[in-house]
Every structure is written in structure tokens, then in C-alpha cells.
Chains A and B, each alone.
Chain A
Amino acid sequence: MAQILIVDDSSTVREEVSTCLKNGGLTVVTAVDGKDGLVKLKADPGIKLVVCDVNMPNMDGLTMVEKIRGELGNKTVNLIMLTTESSPNMKERGKAAGVRGWIVKPFKGAAVLETFKKLVA
């Protein structure tokens, strides 16, 4: 059972974020795009937080979070976007889909680790 699902098509980002969170004592599972993310989330009821990129192949991150709240009916998992996008329109779409927070890349683990721990507690 993992606490956090990291969804990013970049293995560099998956590796960087996973390493940081694991070093902080959190358990992590990764997915390579939105479709894979949905599969991994369905398979692991222990996941409390999804950290997700926006621009990905096959299924983008905002579509994925909309499906998590809609098709999967999962209203409780915390959703945070980790992306190069910072436009207000994107954030509004994320908010409307139930996204809890937004991080503009690059990822800085020290800045978010404690908040992540609270979100999975």
C-alpha cells in the first residue's frame, strides 16, 4: 500500500520526486501518464495523495483528475498538480475538478514535504 501516487511522463521527474518523498519517510507508487495513473489509483485504496503533471501523452493530468472525481467517484483523495503550467485558466480548470493545490516546476521537496505528510496523515 502506497500513500502517494506520482504521475509524470518524465522518468527524471518521477525519480526525483519519488526519491525525495521516500527519503522523507513516505511510501510512493508511480505512473507514466493519466491512463496509467487511473489504473494505479484504482488498484491501491491506500493512496491518499496524487501528485500529477498536466502535459502528458495518452491522457493529460487535468483529464485524469476530472475522471478521478467523476468516473471513479473518488471524492477524498488529495490531488496536487506538479507542472510547468501556471496560467490562471489551467488552475481554474484544476480547481473546478477538485484539485487541492498547484506546484509550478521545478520540484523543491523541502518546500512541500511537511504539507504532503499532513495530506496523507
Chain B
Amino acid sequence: MKHTPVSKLLVLDNDPLQASPIKNFCDENHLVPLKVREGSVMSVLRTNIDLGGILYSEDYGHSPKETALIALDIHAARPELPIIIRREHQATLVGLPDDSQHIYCAAYVASDMGALRKVINDYIFCLMYPNALLRGIAEITQSVLIGQFKGLNVTMDTPYIVHDRMIFGELFSLIQLESSWCRGYMMLQSEENPLLEMIGCEGPRNPGATFRQVNDLLSEITNLIWGSFKNRYIGDEKTVASGRVQIPLIVNHKHKYISFGTENPQLCFRFTLTDERTGRASILYERFIFNLNWSPEDFKEFAPDTADLVDSGELELF
């Protein structure tokens, strides 16, 4: 399993000459291009909730005005997604219709993909995540899921960077992460029915499982991951000073939208739980949002003291 994060880009560029260079660029820069058929942009935006940004082109519409109108619609639907526009002659926003300039974060030209790489690094891969952290989160979460869903197969996609603020499924949990090197939240998102079916699969232990049991299970999974994260990466340090900054979170139920009050991208892990006997599957998204502090240069991992090592679940008598 690779732990270097990737990011999904929606590619809205109809020029056939650009298809190959864009694909090659994406392959070389940990990007996953999603090509969209003309006319289905909005439906793709509605169904993809884990995008990092959009590669757009100056001639995507049949006229500059239409290009601008489509971009405005996209921006209205998903203002959090950075839109990078390919232009024919200049890598600036100068000369684009005035009313649409503000929705693009940057421009590039096909003859200078190095400049596009810088834009991608500035807007998508702008937060550096230590490999030890990515590997550790994957290990911790898989271990917790395997423990909670005995007999089920747990797989994980390569972690990825998202700008989307859309909420997946019907339920999510949030827990604060606080240390000298990070301050933010961990969020787990899932769908209710597949999880209910998974609980039901465990047989008589959960006859007539209800959403409350699903809630409680997600809460306990969150707690176990949080505890392991804390033990491994935060330790005993006194991290919470009085008077530290807090910012409100906004949840819009109607639009299934959550904002942590920052433009920062989020680190996302996607786990699939599969019951091989029934073929049923459940998806769990795990997102890390370091909206209040991110100082990876101070990141540290605490190795357990092997002299005092006690396995989880074992009783350590004093």
C-alpha cells in the first residue's frame, strides 16, 4: 500500500491535444484525473465528494462567455474547489471576463507544465504530511476496524488530499486532535444502512440493531482511533494552553456540507469493509482537518517503552 497522498482532479478540457500531456502530468504528480463528458459536469460534481481541484480550459465553452458561465456555475456549486484554467498564450488571469476572474485560483499554459506543478503544490499539496504519520494512521485505523468488525475484510485506498467539504453518508463523528504540532479534527463519515447490515451480520449479538447502535459503534471506533493516535503521536505533553484560538464549524444539513473555517485541504483515507460471505460492503471515510495549527516540522512519534510494554487488551497490574 502506497502512503504518498494523491489527489483527484476534475479535468474539464476538450482539446484532444491536451489529453496526453495532462494525463502524463497527473501520473508524474500524484494526481488522479477524472475526465467528464460535456454536459455532465454538474452531475459529476454532485456525485464526487472527494475532489482536490479542477483543471479547466479557456476554450471549454463554445465562446469565452459560455466558458465563463460554466465556470461560474461550478464555482457557485463548489466554491471550495480551486479552479486552475489553461490558457492559450499567457499564464495569467489577465484578459479573462471581469466577472469570472475571481473564481480561478491560477492560470497555466500547456508549454510550461512546470508552472502548473507549482500551482498544484500551492493549492493542493500545500500541507506536508510525514510518512510516519500517514503509515501510522493507516495501521491504527485498520487495526481498530478489524477489531470491531470481526471476520470482515478491511481494505484501504491510497490516502488523498481533498478540498471538498461535502459530507458522505448520513452520519459522521468528530473529535479534536490537540498537540504542539497539530490542532484540528478527525472526522469519520459513513452510511447508516450498510453499517446496520454489518452489525446485523454479527448475528445474535445485535438482534434488531438500530441507528443508535450504529451511532455508538462509530463513536467507539472514533474513540479507539483517537486514543491510539494520541498515545503514538501526542504523548503526555501539556498541549492545551488557555486562551487558544477556536473557530466555529458550520454544518449545513440541507447541502450536506461542513466547513472548518479554513481553505486548507484535508487529508482523507477511504476504507472499505467487505463481508466476503454476503458480498455486502460499507465505506468509511476518515478525514483529518488541521484547521487551527499544522507544524509538521515538530511532528514526533513516541515509541513505547519496551521495558514496560503491555499489549492492548492485557491487564497491567500495579
State the A residues within 8 Å of B (CB). 10-13, 15, 19, 55, 80, 83-91, 94-95, 99-108, 111-112, 115
Contact = CB atoms under 8 A, between A and B. Distances in A.
Nearest to A85: B227
Contact of B235 (A87, A103, A106): A87
Contacts of B314: 103-104, 108, 111-112
A55 B223 contact: yes
25 contacts: A10-B216, A11-B212, A12-B220, A13-B220, A15-B205, A19-B205, A84-B228, A86-B227, A86-B304, A87-B235, A88-B236, A91-B318, A99-B318, A101-B315, A101-B317, A104-B313, A105-B224, A106-B144, A106-B148, A108-B312, A108-B313, A111-B314, A112-B314, A112-B315, A115-B315
A10 B231 contact: no
A11 B230 CA distance: 22
Nearest to B225: A84
The 7 A-B residue pairs whose C-beta atoms are closest, nearest first, are A84-B227, A108-B313, A104-B312, A12-B220, A89-B236, A101-B317, A87-B236
A85 to B, nearest CB: 6
B100 interface: no
Given A84-B231, A91-B318, A115-B317, 18 more contacts: A11-B213, A11-B216, A12-B216, A55-B223, A84-B224, A85-B227, A85-B231, A86-B231, A86-B304, A88-B236, A90-B236, A94-B318, A95-B318, A101-B317, A102-B316, A103-B316, A105-B313, A106-B224
B317 A100 contact: yes
B205 to A, nearest CB: 7
Interface residues of B, number: 28
Contacts of A12: 213, 216-217, 219-220
Main secondary structure of the interface of A (DSSP, over half): mixed
Contacts of B317: 100-101, 115
A92 to B, nearest CB: 10
A111 B216 contact: no
Nearest to A88: B236
Contacts of A94: 318
Interface in B230-273: 230-231, 235-236
Interface in B128-164: 144, 147-148
Interface in B172-210: 205
B313 A100 contact: no
Contacts of B104: none
A101 B228 contact: no
A106 B143 CA distance: 10
A101 B313 contact: no
B105 interface: no
B25 interface: no
Contact of B315 (A13, A19, A84, A111): A111
A106 B318 contact: no
B310 interface: yes
Given A10-B219, A84-B224, A100 B213 contact: no
A99 B317 CA distance: 9
B318 A100 contact: yes
Nearest to A11: B216
Contacts of A15: 205
B226 interface: yes
A94 B313 CA distance: 17
Nearest to A14: B216
Contacts of A88: 236
A18 B316 CA distance: 20
Among A11, A94, A101, A104, the one with the most B-chain Cβ atoms within 10 Å of its Cβ is: A104
A104 B309 CA distance: 11
B236 A107 contact: no
A59 B211 CA distance: 26
B227 A111 contact: no
A88 B231 CA distance: 10
Nearest to A80: B315
A48 to B, nearest CB: 16
A21 to B, nearest CB: 13
